[in-house]
Structure 1
Amino acid sequence: MPDSFVRTTRDGAVLVVLIDRPQARNALNPGILTAIAASLAAADENPEICATVLTGGPGNFSAGADIDVLSGHSPATYLASPTRRAFESIARAEKPIVAAVAGYCLGGGCELALACDLVVAGDNAVFGQPEINLGFIPGAGGTQLWRPRAGAGAQADAALLGELIDVWEARRIGLVDEVVPAEAVIDAALAKARTIAAKAPLASRAAKAALKSAGRMSMQSALEYEVTLMAGLLATEDAQEGTNAFLQKRPPQFKGR
């Protein structure tokens, strides 16, 4: 599948990944998802990149999966599809990702946004999991990803009713972290990503790993994992630099080691 609908640029230590298929409201196909996954994997391997902004621009984040592609799947081909593997790869990304969401953020697009660590939304954003209206269910986290942010009730509403909610309701229930004018959504997401990128890189990755453990482990196991991550960071040069800079009342110069 072509990946010409995904464009990447750099803003200092921040990678910007843009879905650029406006004529289809940024509908997702295997090529797009594979390209996004590859960009995030490359960011994880690049020490010069400390955070990523994922966006569809100020028009639409993504109206969901390309239905023409989805309708061509059998049960067997869906389970082995590059779409499924790409979503799994995106979920495994180690560096922090800020979603900059405007317009439609539906179905697979909503799952993609909620797989990110922070969600900044434009005032024109609309969220939902309408898959039930087509006779199936979300297949990339849409029955799970609402719950940590918005609770079990909102998760059930999204999956069972298939109704759309506007950005203000999404903010009220905790689905998004910040609402800004649609034309400012990328700048607002970049501001958050730049702030993250200025922190100690190893600590940022550890913080993301600890946060994601909450839904995969018991509370006790997650707390023990947090302690293990903290102990490992104490042996880093960045931790020493951070404490020295604090005591010397100067900005820290983190090196990622």
Structure 2
Amino acid sequence: MSEVMLEHPADGVALVRLNRPEAKNALNLAVRQQLAEHFRALGADPAVRCIVLTGGGECFAAGADIKDMADKGAIDMLLRNVQLYWQAIAVCPKPIIAAVNGYAWGGGCELAMHADIIIAGENASFCQPEIKVGIMPGAGGTQRLTRAVGKFQAMKMILTGKPVSGREAFSMGLCSEVLPDDEVQAAALKMASAIAAMPPIAVAQIKEVVLAGQDISLDAAIMLERKAFQLLFDTEDQKEGMQAFIEKRKPVYKGR
């Protein structure tokens, strides 16, 4: 059975689920390769409008597979080119919702932070414990975490390797919403369906502008936003959305 499962639970929604329960969904090389393949394909599929990424109701991902790297050297790690697998997720143009139950540790926390929205269970556990095995985060943990929660909270997590709960993660700004554990998956799918019903070109422009704007000056980011805003007035969906508003009916967006 595949270590990463793909389902289509609703119109426009894809569900990508890690499937290594015996290893708490640890991210070995095969899992990373399969994740990259799925996200490349889903990003190019016009029928997919939103993606939910999950490890299921018990565990998101307990980190990298230590057994898979314990005896490796620097050149071994360099030649793996794992950054290319992560990049496939980072550049996916479709909105990604991470549904996090249980452990999101190490690479699992970094994987969740590749999403655009994180819905976490109250008993979820976010952690960057790499310091405890003699290394450091290597897939964005020092950078995405700092951008999400600020230097002081990020340094505390990275330097101590201590986990934070779903509630603590929410208060820090590390997740979008925290819910009872048994409501996380359904809430993520419901939100994905709501986003999938929105105009796809506008959704893609919003994601692109938000991500690009984080690392440029405010003036440049505002200009980027303005150009994307203007561009959307050449879409059929803009005409449909505004006409439906005037006519007091539900719009039907076609991604054109």
Q: What is the TM-score of this pair, normalised by structure 2?
A: 0.96
Greater Cα shift, 235-244 or 55-64? 235-244
Cα displacement (A) at 1:192: 1.1
1:30–1:82 Cα contact (<8 Å) kept: no
Q: CA deviation at 1:82?
A: 4.3
Partner of 2:2: 4
| Larger displacement relative to structure 2 (198-207 or 221-230) | 221-230
Moved over 4 A (4+): none
Q: Does 1:204 align with 2:203?
A: yes
Supply the distance in 2 between the matched residues of 1:76 and 1:231 (Cα, whole angstroms). Answer: 47
Q: Which residue of 1 aligns with 2:179?
A: 180
Look up the SS of the partner of 1:16 in the other structure: strand
CA change 1:121–1:59 in 2 (3 A) is same
SS of corresponding position for 2:230: helix
| Contact 1:96–1:204 under 8 Å retained in 2 | yes
Residue type at the aligned position of 2:29? P
Q: Which residue of 2 aligns with 1:33?
A: 32
Return the offset for 1:219.
1.6
Moved more, 5-14 or 218-227: 218-227
Higher mean displacement: 149-158 or 107-116: 149-158
Percent of residue pairs identical? 39
Unaligned residue ranges in structure 1 (runs of 5+) = none
Please state how far the C-alpha of 1:76 moved relative to its aligned partner: 2.1
1:155 aligned to 2:169? no
Counterpart amino acid of 1:138? P
Instruction: Confirm whether residue 115 of structure 1 aligns to residue 130 of structure 2.
Output: no
Letter in 2 for 1:10: H
Q: Does the Cα contact within 8 Å between 1:126 and 1:166 map onto a contact in 2?
A: yes
Q: TM-score, normalised by structure 1?
A: 0.95
Corresponding pairs, count: 255
Cα deviations across residues 129-175 of structure 1 (Å, max 9, x unaligned)?
Answer: 00011111100000011223212211111222211111111111111
Change in 2 beyond 3 A, CA 1:65/1:241:
same
Alpha-carbon distance, 1:30 to partner: 1.4
Q: Classify the secondary structure of the residue corresponding to 1:18.
A: strand
